Amino acid sequence: MEEKRTPFNVEIGEKESEGIYSNFVLIAHSPSEFILDFARVLPGVKKAKVFARIVMTPQHALLLKNALDENIKRYEDRFGKIRIVGKPETSVGFQPETK
C-alpha cells in the first residue's frame, strides 16, 4: 500500500527568498553528519568565500541526492543533457579519507 503524504506549508523569509548564488560546494562528513559549504569562486581570485553552510544527517543527505537525481532527470528530459565544460575540480577543500 502506498503511503499518503500530508501536505504542509513552507514559509520562506524575504531575505532567504532572494537566494544565494554558489558555483562551488565543499562536502565533508563524519559518521553522524554531512556538511555542505556553498561558496562562490570568482575568476582570478585564489580564495573562495563560503556563503552558506548546511549540516544534515546522512539520511537527509541521501534523500537530497535522490531528489537531485530525480530533478536532474526531469530537467534533462525537458531541456536536454547537461554538459560539463572542462575538467571539474575535485582536489580543492576537504580530502577523502584513505583506508
Does any domain span residue 95?
A: no
Residue 61 and residue 53: Cα distance in Å, rounded? Answer: 14
19 CA to centre of own chain: 14
Q: Which residues contact 21 (CB under 8 A, 6 or more apart)?
A: 40
pTM metric for this prediction? 0.75
Number of domains, the chain:
1
Q: pLDDT at residue 79 above 70?
A: yes
Does any domain span residue 86?
A: no
Does any domain span residue 8?
A: no
Does any domain span residue 92?
A: no
Mean pLDDT over 12-29 rounds to: 95
The H-or-E segment that residue 83 falls in is none
Amino acid at 29: H
Does any domain span residue 85?
A: no
Does any domain span residue 5?
A: no
Residue 29: give the domain boundaries.
Answer: 18-79
Q: pLDDT at residue 96 above 90?
A: no
